[in-house]
Amino acid sequence: MGSGQYCHYGLENALRSFIDEYVHKGIVVECIKLLVSIDGAPLAVSSEKWLWIISVSEKELKLVEVLAIYHGEDKPSNVNELLKEFKEVTLFINNGISHKDKHYSVILHALVCDAPAKSYVICVKYHSGYYSCTKCTIEGEYDGAVHFPGCIVTLRTGEKVKNREYNDPLGYDYQKNGETILKDIPKFGLVTNVVLDYMHLICLGVMLKLIELWIKNILSDADIDKMSERLINIKQFVP
C-alpha cells in the first residue's frame, strides 16, 4: 500500500472483546457504540518512517483494540487506501454481531482524530486555512495564525458534505482534497459524528493561551515551576 506496508487485524475480534468485557463486568447492553481513532507519527524525531494506527474503543469501556497499522515513508496519498479494509464496519452496522447466543447491534458513534489527521481522513481543508472549521462555515481571521472569533455562524450539514456541496466557489474549496469512503458508512455523519479535538483545541489551545496571558511578565520561572508541580500533585484528585 502506497510506499509502505499495511497490516489489518479486523473489527470482529475487537467487537467480541468489548462484549466479553461487558459480560465480565455484569453490564447488559444491546448496542456496541464504537469510537474509532486514526493518527500517525514519525517513529523517531529524525526518522523518515511513519506509523499510522487505526484503533477502536467502546463508548462506555476503557478498552482499546488495534484494527490496523500502516508503516511507510509517508501516509498514503489517498486516504481511501488506508480506509479500504475498515469499510468492514458497514457489514456489522447493517447486520450486527452474534456472540455466545446473543445478538448485538453496532454503530460507529464517533471518529476521534487530532485536527491534521481529521482533515486527512475526511478529505477537507486543513485546520490552518480559512473556512476550515468542520462544524460551521465561519471564514476566520489571520493574526499570526488563523483563528475563528464570533458565534453567529452557519452550521455545516452532513448531507451537504456527503454531496460535496462545499466543493465549489461558494464553499471556498472546503472539500478540495478528494472524497472519503467514510461517507458511505450507514448512520454515520461527517459533521455530527466527527468530534472536535479536545486536547489540542482546549488543553493545548485556549487554556494554554489563557495561562500564558495570565502569567506573562508577572510570575518568575521558579513560581511557574512551583505552580506546575502543585497542579501535577493534585491531578489524581481532579476528575
Q: In this predicted structure, what is the pLDDT of residue 169?
A: 57
Specify whether 184 is located in the same domain as 73.
yes
Q: In this predicted structure, what is the pLDDT of residue 152?
A: 81
In a domain, residue 112? The reply is yes
End-to-end, the C-alpha distance of the chain in Å comes to 42
Specify whether 23 is located in the same domain as 116.
yes
Specify whether 114 is located in the same domain as 29.
yes
Closest by Cα among 21, 35, 32 to 98: 32
Specify whether 147 is located in the same domain as 228.
no
Return d(Cα 239, Cα 223) in angstroms, integer.
25
In a domain, residue 72? The reply is yes
Could you tell me the CA-to-CA distances from 28 to 61, 93, 97, 234 in Å, in that order? 13, 19, 15, 35
Specify whether 107 is located in the same domain as 147.
no
19 vs 72, higher pLDDT: 19
Does residue 124 carry a pLDDT above 80? yes
Q: In this structure, are strands 31-42 and 102-112 parallel, antiparallel, or unpaired?
A: parallel
Instruction: Provide the residue count of the chain.
Output: 239
Specify whether 35 is located in the same domain as 70.
yes
Specify whether 158 is located in the same domain as 143.
yes
Specify whether 28 is located in the same domain as 137.
no
Q: pLDDT, tens digit, for every residue of 172-230?
A: 678 877 899 999 999 999 999 999 988 888 888 888 888 888 877 777 888 889 988 98
In a domain, residue 239? The reply is no
**For residue 66, what is the enclosing H or E element?**
strand 64-72
Q: In this predicted structure, what is the pLDDT of residue 73?
A: 85
In a domain, residue 238? The reply is no
Does residue 170 carry a pLDDT above 70? no
Specify whether 187 is located in the same domain as 75.
yes
Specify whether 45 is located in the same domain as 129.
no
In a domain, residue 237? The reply is no
Nine cell digits for residue 4: 509502505
- Full residue range of the structural domain in which residue 15 is found: 1-123+178-195
In a domain, residue 23? The reply is yes
Specify whether 72 is located in the same domain as 89.
yes
Specify whether 28 is located in the same domain as 114.
yes
Does residue 97 carry a pLDDT above 80? yes
% of the chain exceeding 70 in pLDDT: 97
In 10 A of CB 229, how many CB atoms?
9
Mean pLDDT of 127-154: 86
Return d(Cα 175, Cα 160) in angstroms, integer.
11
State the virtual CA torsion across 229, 235, 238, 239 in degrees, nearest 10: 150
Return d(Cα 189, Cα 13) in angstroms, integer.
25
Closest by Cα among 80, 67, 64 to 7: 67
Domains in the chain, number:
3
Q: In this structure, are strands 64-72 and 5-8 parallel, antiparallel, or unpaired?
A: antiparallel
In a domain, residue 81? The reply is yes
In a domain, residue 217? The reply is yes
Beta strands in the chain (DSSP E): 5-8, 31-42, 50-58, 64-72, 97-99, 102-112, 141-142, 146-147
Does residue 46 carry a pLDDT above 80? no
pTM of the predicted model over 0.85: no
pLDDT averaged over every residue in the chain: 89
